[in-house]
Structure 1
Amino acid sequence: MTDTIAELGTRLGPDVVGAVRALYAPEQEPRAAALAPVASDCAYGPHLRNRLDLYREGEGGRLRPVLLFVHGGGFLAGDKGGDGNGNWANAHLGRWAAANGMLGAVMNYRLAPGEAWPAGAEDVAAAVTWLQEHAAEHGGDPERIVLLGTSAGSVHIAGFLKLRSDHAGMVRAAVLLSGLYGFTPLDERDMLYYGPQDAYAGRMPREAVVETALPLLLACAEFDPPRFQAEWAGLLQARLDRHGCLPRAHYASGHNHYSMAMHLGTADRRLSDEILTFISAHS
């Protein structure tokens, strides 16, 4: 698999997504068939995309930590999956959380260009609020919520940190995979969410993700595009300058922008173990 991912290089696009999905389907599809959601399309807000699914293994017992996964898609696409038609990607993070003793929540959110900044960050906040109110009904501890995002999902989590000054009282920690936080120039795709260049500086979550005292795990991949690697390195340096120490970090060797999240739950446990150790320390 590593050789195949290396051959794909640092490119983004539907063809690369499809190639990576095909690599992990033999491991992920049986897990998808084995564990259905315990609750589907829970409405955490009024928009049709304000829906989340919940995954849990076992019944009863003590309330378990809650992991909320926020998918990627470049602000314009993406789905929580889990519809039973081979659409295992993204839903697999809920199943991975469940297999590791958590209540897994996988959310959709509003998409650009129809919904612009700060829609994604607002939706993360609304989903967290819903989990605070309803997680216990499904075996989750509303006092132990951890966020996990990839790509645009990481951006929306960082935006949540910016919008909600009380975020440290709402969640325990956040895992951010390959996000864009404001350390590199705006591109045309970003403008579909953030608006024109003159609005960019005030809307990016750079300051919030640097300043927050919330525990963070920051990761990027060996074959992430250079912009994403620059963002990761820039954020690490900014956190070091601000706090005098680095946050927990992971460099996913042998992975690309898509495989870093898509492989979680497979035999490659390097990132999985890092995230689980981090969550255990903070939940």
Structure 2
Amino acid sequence: MELCRRATVISHVSKSSLVSALALVAALAGCATVKDVGLRPLYVESDLDGTFEVRLDVAYRSDPEAHPQKHRLDLFLPHRAGFPLLAFVHGGSFENGDKGVSLAGLDIYGNIGRFYAARGVGVALINYRLQPEVHWPSQVDDVARAVAWLARHQEELGGDGRLFLSGHSAGAWLVSRVALDRDLLERPGVDLAGVAGVISVSGSGFDMTDEQTWEMLGGPFSEAEWAERFDPGREWDAEGWKSAASIVPLVRPEAPPFLIVCTSRELEALQRQNRLFHRALGEAGVPSHFEVVGTDSHRRMALAMSHPDRLLPQLVLDFVSGGAAELAAAWSARAEPGDEGRAALARATRGDRFEPDPFEPDDLVGPPAAAAGSRWLSEQSYGALDGPVGGDQADGVDWQPPHEER
């Protein structure tokens, strides 16, 4: 049924159905939003079975300068109180997208909300202003304000105090920035201390000073395209805007745990950016797990977020239900790299459902001494920056991409 876009509690009757596949438009380095229709059943509609409620277009800013559509969020709240709350930010090259995007009647991001709420996780879908109307610092500020609103209201919403941030593509960059930028912590009305973990799905642009990434993307042409997004007013030289927009320099030891996920079909440059980010977090002592999943393309990872047969949603559910705390506890007892530590880590991950990468000892980031029994401590979590990309290949659904994506 058509969903009325206003702040209200609604009921929704939906059918369990498998419908036409979708693809997500890929922009530079893969910041995607919904655009075209694919040929395979990649969208599985999640039922509203009466176990949660939906509130649409809730304002997280109400001052005179608030945007009437973009300073809004949608809530999917389990009826049973005491749930973790997952804030999700859509992608779209910083220029496109909306929490309410639909294509051929399919509610892409709303389906994410329904999927997790039906499984006991509250979800907030966050809108934010888009370029070129605003510059990227304003987009970061929008997401930070939304997260702060959720932190203030999560108890009355029924949350248990655990607030997780997640985003796809450009949204992954935004939530990572919000979780790490010290300047945001000093802004009036923005309290981000309660963030329990961050889930980055197919993000990029974490270290824009990395020259190898630019070479992999195509050199000067690619840099010019990115400059339009991150320095449209030409306020900096090339090194200036790259440094200002990079997230890696913001990494701090007290940051919350991170789950970093990308697909084996990402651009090599994007895979490298995820590895750079994961390594920087590990070197700073921030609990971080890096996972390469399945065979979905970058543009379809938003669909995979709510696909019951994909590994990605299981990773998310595991992370918010205890994996983040488990990862943090293990990292609090880190050991120095060495043969004994590597052996302990190997024992801990043998037989784990995560397929590990081969060890690259020189690039290990201090495996924990007491890793036994932790599903979050595969060798891949400490893998080499330039080593082979592993990841799960049994991702539930065997499918061939449409011709244009092969």
Normalising by structure 2, we get a TM-score of 0.59
**Following TM superposition, by how much is the alpha carbon of 1:211 offset from its aligned partner in structure 2, in angstroms?**
4.9
Shift of 1:169: 1.2
1:67–1:146 Cα contact (<8 Å) kept? yes
CA distance in 1, matches of 2:308, 2:293: 15
For the residues of structure 2 that align with 1:268 and 1:169, how far apart are their CA atoms?
Answer: 34
Does residue 231 (structure 1) correspond to residue 281 (structure 2)? The answer is: no
Q: C-alpha deviations, 1:92-134, integer Å up to 9, x for none?
A: 2211220220211101111111110212211111011111233
State yes or no: 1:152 paired with 2:170.
Answer: yes
Q: Secondary structure at the match of 1:172?
A: strand
Contact 1:32 1:88 in 2 (8 A): no
Q: Which of structure 1's runs of 4+ aligned residues deviate more than 6 A? A: 8-11, 13-16, 32-36, 82-85
Identity of paired residues, percent?
28
In the alignment, the residues of structure 2 paired with residue 234 and residue 88 of structure 1 have an alpha-carbon distance, to the nearest angstrom, of: 33
**What is the distance in 2 between the residues matched to 1:176 and 1:231?**
12
**Inter-CA distance 90–22: structure 2 relative to 1 (3 Å threshold):** farther
The residue that corresponds to 2:198 in the other structure is 174
Structure 2 residue matching 1:38: 3-state secondary structure: strand
Give the conservation status (yes or no) of the 8 Å contact 1:115–1:193. no
Distance 2:250 2:164 in 1: 17
Return the match for 2:259 from 193, 196, 217: 217
In 2, Cα distance between equivalents of 1:15 and 1:97:
20
Q: How do 1:182-197 and structure 2 match up within 5 A?
A: 182=207, 183=210, 184-185=213-214, 187-195=223-231, 196=234, 197=238
1:21, CA displacement in angstroms? 8.6
Structure 1 246/112 Cα, relative in aligned 2: closer, same or farther at 3 Å?
Answer: same
**Greater relative contact order (Cα 8 A, min sep 6): structure 1 or 2?**
1
Counterpart CA distance in 2 for 1:77 and 1:248 is: 29
Change in CA separation of 1:55 and 1:16 when aligned onto 2, cut-off 3 Å? closer
SS in 1 for 2:145: helix
| 1:103–1:140 Cα contact (<8 Å) kept | yes
Residues 192-207 of structure 1 mapped to structure 2, 5 A cutoff = 192-195=228-231, 196=234, 197=238, 198-207=240-249
Which structure is higher in helix share?
1
CA–CA distance in structure 2, aligned partners of residues 240 and 225 of structure 1? 23
SS of residue matched to 1:52: strand
**Is the radius of gyration larger for structure 1 or structure 2?**
2
Q: Between 185-194 and 103-112, report the one with greater CA deviation.
A: 185-194
Residue identity matched to 2:55: A
Unaligned runs of 5+ in 2: 1-20, 215-221, 326-406
Partners of 2:49 and 2:39 lie apart in 1 by 16
- Provide the TM-score with structure 1 as the length reference: 0.82
Q: Alignment length, in residue pairs? A: 272
Residues 164-210 of structure 1: per-residue CA shift (max 9 Å, x gap): 34776131110001212124447344333321433231232222247
Amino acid at match of 1:42: V
Q: Which moves more between the two structures, 176-185 or 202-211?
A: 202-211
CA contact (8 A) 1:236 1:246 kept: no
TM-superposition CA deviations, 1:214-270 (whole Å, max 9, x none): 100001111112221110122223334333x87212101211112222122323231
Closer/same/farther in 2, CA of residues 113 and 64 from structure 1, 3 Å limit: same
State the distance in 2 between where 1:232 and 1:255 align. 17
Counterpart-to-counterpart distance in 1, 2:115 and 2:60: 22
2: CA distance, partners of 1:84 / 1:19: 8
- AA matched with 1:156: L
Deviation larger for 154-163 or 195-204 = 195-204
Shift of 1:87: 4.0
Structure-2 change in CA distance of 1:20 and 1:235 (3 Å): farther
Alignment CA distance shift 1:41-1:100 (3 Å): same
- Which residue is equivalent to 1:18? 36
Contact 1:17 1:258 in 2 (8 A): no
Cross-structure match for 2:308: 267
Q: Structure 2 counterpart of 1:203, which letter?
A: A
Runs of 5+ consecutive residues of structure 1 not aligned to the other structure: none
Between stretches 32-41 and 72-81, larger displacement belongs to 32-41
* Aligned CA-pair RMSD: 3.4
Alignment match, 1:53: 74
Which AA in structure 2 matches 1:52?
Answer: L
Q: Which moved more, 1:269-278 or 1:15-24?
A: 15-24
Which whole-Å CA distance do the structure 1 matches of 2:39 and 2:135 have between them? 28
- Does residue 97 (structure 1) correspond to residue 116 (structure 2)? The answer is yes
Change in Cα spacing, 1:188 to 1:43, as seen in structure 2 (3 Å) is farther
Distance in 1 (alpha carbons) for counterparts of 2:33 and 2:185: 39
Q: 1:125 to 1:19 in 2, by over 3 A?
A: same
Matched to 2:294, the amino acid is S
Matched residues in 2 for 1:280 and 1:13: separation?
A: 28
Shift of 1:38: 1.9
